[in-house]
Structure 1
Amino acid sequence: MIAIDVLEWPGVNQAFIISFIVAVAMALAVIPYGKWRPVDAPFSWGEAMLGATYMFGFLFVAFGIVPHQWIDHADKNLGWSKEKLLIGWGGFLKPDSQGGWNPVTLQYEAVRDIVVVLIHVVFFGIVLFLAIWWQKRDDGTAKSKEIPTSTYGRPLVKKA
C-alpha cells in the first residue's frame, strides 16, 4: 500500500481542477439547452444578452482562469522554472553543459508553456465543436419557410 495523501501531494491543485471542471461543465451545459430550445424560436433582447454574458463567462474561465491556474500550479507547487532542467528518465535528455549528449538545454518552464498551449487548443476545439453543433442542430427537422425564387432572384408568387 502506498502511503500518499492525495490532497497534500504536489500534483494536486484544487483551484486548477475546479476551474477546469467548471469550464467543461459550462461548455457541456450548452448542449441540453440547445436540444430544449426550438430551432426557429426568435431570441429576445434579454435572452441574447444573457447568452452573450454566459459565453463571455465561459470564455473567461476557459481561456483566462484555467491557464493561469496551471501556470500558478506549475510555478509554485511543482517548482517548474528556468533553473529546473528537463533531464528525463535515466538522463537521456541531459544537456551537453551537464555532461550529457543533448545539444539543447530543456527547462521545465517550456513544458509548462506547452501544457498551456494544449489547454488553449482543447478549449478552442470545444468552442468550434459547440459553434458547429449549434448551427447544425436543425438537421432538417424544421420546415423551410423559404419562397422559391426565379433565376433573377425574385420571389415566385402566384398571381391571383
Structure 2
Amino acid sequence: MVIGLCAIFHKVFEIRKPSKRLQRGKLRMVAFAVSIIATVILVWGFYAYLKRCPIDKEFTWGEAMLFATYVFFILFWVYGVVPHQWLTWADSELNWRPDRFIVGPELPWTGEQGIVEWALPFTMTYLVIRDVIAVVIYGIALAGNVVCWRHWQNRGVEK
C-alpha cells in the first residue's frame, strides 16, 4: 500500500505542466534588467564627474562626503543588489534548483545519457551554474572597481 502510494506520488510529480509564464513564453526579468541599467547610469554619473573634475581641485568637506556617499551607493548596488537580483531571478523565474541536472541532448554514442552527463565525470546542477554566474558578476564588479580607481587616479595624466 505504502509503496503504491509512493509510486503514484513520484509519477504525479514527475510529469509537471510548465508554469503559466512559460506557457505564455514570457520570462520576466524586469528587476535584474533594471538593476543592470541602474548600474550603467550610476557608473556613467561617475565618469561624467570625472571628466569635469581637475586633478588639483580642493574638495570641501561637503563635496567629499557627497561623493563618498555616491561611491558607497555604487558599491552597495553593484556588490549587493545586482547579484541578489540575479540569484532571485534564477531561483524563481528560471527555476534553477539543486534537483535539476544539466543533462543535454541524447546522441547516438552517449547511450541513454545526455551529452553533458556523458562527457563530465560529475553531475552538474543548475544551482552550480547559477552560483558560477553570481561569481562572474562579482568578478566583473571587482574589475570595474579597479578600472574606475585607475581612471580616477590618472585623470590629470596625458596619454
Q: Same fold (TM over 0.5)?
A: yes
Equivalent in the alignment of 2:49: 33
TM-score by length of 2: 0.75
Taking the aligned partners of 1:32 and 1:8, their CA distance within structure 2 comes to 39
Match of 1:123 in 2: 141
Cα 1:101–1:47 change in 2 (3 A) is closer
Q: Tell me if the contact between 1:27 and 1:126 (Cα under 8 Å) persists in the aligned partners.
A: no
TM-score of the superposed pair, with normalisation by structure 1: 0.75
The Cα offsets for residues 2-33 of structure 1, whole Å up to 9 and x where unpaired, read as xxx9x9622x4100000111112211221121
Are 1:133 and 2:151 matched, yes or no? Answer: yes
Structure 1 segment 11-22 matched on structure 2, within 5 A: 12-22=28-38
In structure 1, how many angstroms separate the alpha carbons of the residues matched to 2:30 and 2:73? Answer: 20
Corresponding residue of 2:39: 23
Runs of 4+ in 1 over 6 A off after TM superposition: none
Q: Distance in 2 between matches of 1:30 and 1:132?
A: 13
Q: Is the 8 A contact 1:39 1:137 kept in 2?
A: yes
Q: Does 1:49 align with 2:89?
A: no
Partners of 1:16 and 1:66 lie apart in 2 by 7
- The more displaced of 107-116 and 36-45 is 36-45
Alignment CA distance shift 1:8-1:55 (3 Å): farther
Structure 1 residues 68-103: Cα deviation after superposition (integer angstroms, max 9, x where no partner): 000000000000010100112442112xxxxx4643
Contact 2:35/2:82 (8 A) holds in 1? yes
Aligned residue in 2 for 1:75:
91
Distance in 2 separating the partners of 1:26 and 1:47? 17
1:108 maps to which of 117, 126, 144: 126
Alpha-carbon RMSD? 2.1
How far apart are the structure 1 equivalents of 2:149 and 2:82?
Answer: 21
Aligned residue pair count: 130
* Structure exhibiting the larger radius of gyration computed from Cα positions: 1
Q: 1:101, 1:42 → 2: CA distance?
A: 60
